[in-house]
């Protein structure tokens, strides 16, 4: 096996100039021909470089002669200087005489080797240097640079793209010759990580793998011998197992691969499995974990059949204070065959949604939106957490606590802050208090209802909590298995967010909603079981009941349900934002849950789910001169 592309900087080339004037002239020519807003050509250590910068400040640096991406700094925090370097790159070192430099190591590099026969070393092919073929941009929100080189009848294009939340590298190999060529190829990325013990990948569970050396590359940090050398795990390495010998296949049986120790693997279907009509292939995407900086990056492969993954273990100390891993899509075990007149394409995408975690802590949040109120053209907040309750006794008609007064505030920012609101109705002799308690890792909302009248009081309604998610398609409710549920129209409270198209499909719930009017109508009767069934049947003819069969309930579809016999605690998981929230109820017997469905834009207006502790099917009864308390806890387990 030998290199098809010569990524080393030739000694006699434009990158090895004899005068500053010549170098400046070359970069000036590139700038004049291809430069535009967000795309800048410059020189770094006598090497022509193109720097891409999109609107949000995310940037990328690409060495032109060898197609080496040496820096990728996306915006990962909302603060002003919220950029982090993703790639681990060792700068080029000058010789003792200062007569030149060697290539930088690490970063992202394309590796292509020709294979003449299986298990053969092949022969080296001389290639031209990478040159800039074209650039493209969509304003400054998407930037792209295309490099090209050739080797005889083989033409190769390398396209590097930058977007606000992702970057992509793609290769196109076209065979203009008369013979087929076989290629071993990979796009290898060196990811920086803050802590050795906090580095890993997730998404490879169930995938087969075997120990395998990396492709020989001029920008690989570890040599082939270092990558395959076994290491002493040291003391206190509980659970550590040595890597199996090359050629022995295993199956990943844990969701997260911890990369504290040294390994060099190929994740793919074993060769004996690939001959079968159906076989399990490597996943098309997986995620890198940098627990020290609390950053996650999703790696997506296209065109390649395998995934290469390696970590240096204790050898990382030899190359700096930070830790790093090397991974990327590859075709190493089975070469890619490009027939005459055909072309082959492969790509890698690195994307992230760390911005939506809102800072350095893993967080969840309540979804809020602003709309315009037609009456006075003032801003109205929708979403968040609100109360939608109606009360009634024999002394007065239905009353809803919509007007609140501040009763008291207590606590300290260092521990917890509690705000108490109060609403009264003199006609019914009813007082409702809403107590909001914010602690370090939990938000508690409680309602305290006092019935000072001489007749019984009936309370009906729900907490309405809008939780921000990346998309309902990536959101799950865990722990509801075995709970009975009733399909009901959404509760349309003053602050509810309901998509205008919700319920228009025949297979979904009706476009009618449960608002205060509907709840009031329920109170006009004596609320016997027959009356309630009759009233709710008029509200929604398509309602039905069932039992939750899935303990890992996927919220991707439109739904509006009321769960009974639900557990006191369950968990909402958002895999897109990699966050979760534990929901607990006190006092209530029902759980309201609403999902707008996944047909809307990710991280958009309708990227939320709605839930709340409720009394919608069966009102809560309060005896005269008594109190009732109910509440909801939203606990952040990510803290």
pLDDT digits (tens, 9 = 90+) for 180-236: 999 999 999 999 999 998 999 999 999 999 999 999 888 899 988 898 888 776 655
φ, ψ (nearest 5 deg) of residue 22: -65, -45
Query: 405 is written with which tokens?
Result: 């007064």
- Of 460-469, 532-541, 564-573, which range is least confident? 532-541
Phi/psi region, residue 84 (left: phi>0; alpha: psi -120 to 50; beta: rest), is: beta
How confident is residue 533, by pLDDT bands cut at 50, 70 and 90? Answer: very low
Instruction: Please give the share of the chain, as a percent, with pLDDT higher than 90.
Output: 45
E strands in 270-395: 285-290, 295-302, 306-311, 323-338, 343-351, 368-372, 379-383, 385-393
In DSSP terms, 50 is beta-bridged to: 41, 62
φ, ψ (nearest 5 deg) of residue 513: -130, 160
Map out the domains of the chain with their CATH numbers.
2-357 (2.70.98.10), 368-387+455-635 (no CATH)
Number of H helices, E strands in the chain: 5, 42
Decide if 418 contacts 437 (C-beta within 8 A).
yes
Please give the distance of CA 251 from its chain centroid, rounded to a whole number.
Answer: 25
Decide if 140 contacts 53 (C-beta within 8 A).
yes
In DSSP terms, 476 is beta-bridged to: 554, 573
> What CA–CA distance (Å, rounded) separates 115 from 180?
11
In DSSP terms, 379 is beta-bridged to: 372
Burial class (CB within 10 angstroms; exposed 0-12, middle 13-18, buried 19+) of 88: buried
Decide if 417 contacts 409 (C-beta within 8 A).
yes
- Of 63-67, 69-73, 119-123, 560-564, which range is least confident? 119-123
Between the two ends of the chain, the Cα-to-Cα distance in Å is 49
Q: Is the pLDDT of residue 570 over 60?
A: yes
pLDDT digits (tens, 9 = 90+) for 81-116: 889 999 999 987 653 333 334 478 999 999 998 887
Residue 536 parent element (H or E): helix 529-539
- Any idea what DSSP says for residue 225? H
CB atoms within 10 A of CB 633: 20
E strands in 413-474: 416-425, 430-438, 442-451, 457-468
Burial class (CB within 10 angstroms; exposed 0-12, middle 13-18, buried 19+) of 21: exposed
CB atoms within 10 A of CB 376: 8
Decide if 432 contacts 401 (C-beta within 8 A).
yes
> What CA–CA distance (Å, rounded) separates 321 from 48?
29
- Of 4-18, 320-334, 495-509, which range is least confident? 4-18
Spatial CA neighbour of 325 closest among 415, 402, 260:
260
Mean model confidence pLDDT for the chain: 81
> What CA–CA distance (Å, rounded) separates 415 from 157?
58
Q: In what order do the strands lie in the sheet with 475-478?
A: 405-412, 416-425, 430-438, 442-451, 626-635, 579-586, 569-574, 475-478, 552-554
pTM over 0.75: no
Q: Is the pLDDT of residue 525 over 60?
A: no
Spatial CA neighbour of 160 closest among 172, 147, 150, 173:
147
Which residues have C-beta within 8 Å of that of residue 328, sequence separation ≥ 6?
Answer: 108, 186, 187, 188, 189, 299, 301, 307, 308, 348
Decide if 407 contacts 421 (C-beta within 8 A).
yes
CB atoms within 10 A of CB 7: 22
Spatial CA neighbour of 609 closest among 622, 591, 597, 620:
597
> What CA–CA distance (Å, rounded) separates 411 from 432?
21
- For 310, 595, 596, the CA distances from 490, given in Å and listed in that order, are 50, 9, 10
Mean pLDDT of 387-399: 80
pLDDT digits (tens, 9 = 90+) for 452-494: 888 888 989 999 999 999 889 889 998 898 889 999 888 877 7
Q: Is the pLDDT of residue 146 over 60?
A: yes
């Amino acid at each position: 096996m030998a290199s098809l592309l010569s990524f080393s900087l030739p000694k006699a080339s434009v990158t090895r100039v004899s005068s500053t004037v010549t170098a400046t002239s070359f970069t000036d020519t590139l700038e004049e021909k291809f430069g535009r807003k967000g795309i800048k050509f410059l020189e770094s250590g006598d090497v022509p470089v193109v720097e891409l910068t999109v609107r949000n400040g995310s940037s990328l640096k690409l060495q032109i002669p060898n197609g080496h991406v040496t820096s990728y700094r996306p915006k990962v925090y909302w603060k002003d200087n919220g950029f982090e370097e993703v790639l681990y790159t060792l700068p080029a070192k000058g010789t003792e005489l200062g007569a030149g430099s060697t290539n930088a190591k690490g970063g992202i590099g394309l590796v292509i080797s020709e294979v003449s026969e299986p298990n053969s070393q092949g022969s080296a092919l001389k290639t031209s240097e990478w040159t800039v073929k074209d650039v493209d941009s969509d304003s400054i929100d998407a930037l792209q640079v295309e490099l090209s080189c050739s080797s005889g009848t083989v033409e190769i294009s390398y396209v590097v793209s930058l977007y606000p939340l992702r970057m992509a590298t793609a290769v196109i190999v076209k065979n203009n010759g008369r013979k087929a060529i076989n290629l071993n190829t990979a796009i290898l990325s060196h990811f920086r990580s803050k802590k050795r013990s906090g580095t890993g990948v997730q998404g490879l569970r169930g995938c087969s793998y075997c120990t395998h050396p990396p492709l020989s590359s001029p920008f690989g940090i570890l040599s082939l011998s270092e990558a395959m050398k076994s290491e002493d795990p040291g003391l206190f390495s509980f659970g550590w197992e040595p890597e199996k010998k090359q050629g022995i296949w295993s199956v990943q049986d844990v969701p997260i691969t911890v990369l504290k120790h040294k390994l060099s693997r190929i994740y793919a279907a074993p060769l004996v499995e690939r001959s079968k009509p159906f076989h399990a292939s490597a996943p098309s995407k997986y995620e890198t974990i940098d627990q020290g900086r609390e950053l996650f990056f999703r790696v997506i492969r296209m065109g390649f059949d395998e995934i290469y993954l390696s970590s240096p273990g204790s050898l990382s100390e030899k190359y700096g204070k930070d830790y790093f891993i090397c991974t990327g899509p590859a075709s190493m075990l089975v070469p890619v065959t490009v027939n005459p007149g055909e072309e082959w394409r492969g790509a890698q995408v690195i994307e992230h949604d760390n911005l939506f975690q809102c800072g350095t802590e893993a967080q969840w949040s309540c979804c809020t939106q602003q709309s315009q109120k037609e009456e006075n053209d003032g801003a109205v907040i929708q979403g968040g957490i609100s109360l939608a309750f109606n009360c009634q006794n024999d002394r007065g008609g239905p009353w809803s606590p919509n007007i609140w007064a501040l009763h008291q505030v207590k606590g300290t920012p260092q521990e917890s802050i509690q705000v108490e609101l109060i609403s009264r109705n003199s006609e019914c002799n009813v007082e409702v208090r809403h107590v909001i308690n914010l602690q370090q890792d939990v938000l508690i909302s409680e309602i305290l209802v006092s019935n000072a009248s001489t007749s019984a009081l009936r309370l009906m309604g729900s907490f309405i909590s809008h939780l921000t998610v990346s998309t309902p398609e990536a959101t799950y409710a865990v722990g509801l298995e075995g709970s009975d549920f009733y399909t009901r129209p959404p509760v349309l409270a003053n602050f509810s967010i309901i998509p205008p198209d919700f319920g228009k499909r025949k297979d979904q719930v009706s476009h009618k909603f449960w608002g205060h009017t509907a709840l009031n109508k329920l109170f006009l009767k004596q609320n016997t079981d027959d009356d309630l069934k009759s009233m709710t049947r008029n509200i929604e003819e398509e309602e039905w009941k069932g039992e939750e069969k899935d303990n890992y309930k996927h919220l991707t579809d439109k739904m509006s349900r009321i769960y009974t016999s639900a557990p006191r605690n369950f968990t909402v998981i958002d895999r897109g934002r990699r966050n979760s929230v534990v929901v607990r109820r006190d006092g209530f017997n029902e759980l309201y849950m609403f999902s707008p469905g996944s047909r809307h834009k990710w991280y958009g207006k309708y990227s939320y789910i709605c839930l709340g502790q409720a009394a919608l099917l069966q009102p809560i009864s309060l005896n005269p001169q008594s109190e009732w308390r109910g509440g909801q806890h939203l606990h952040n387990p990510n803290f």
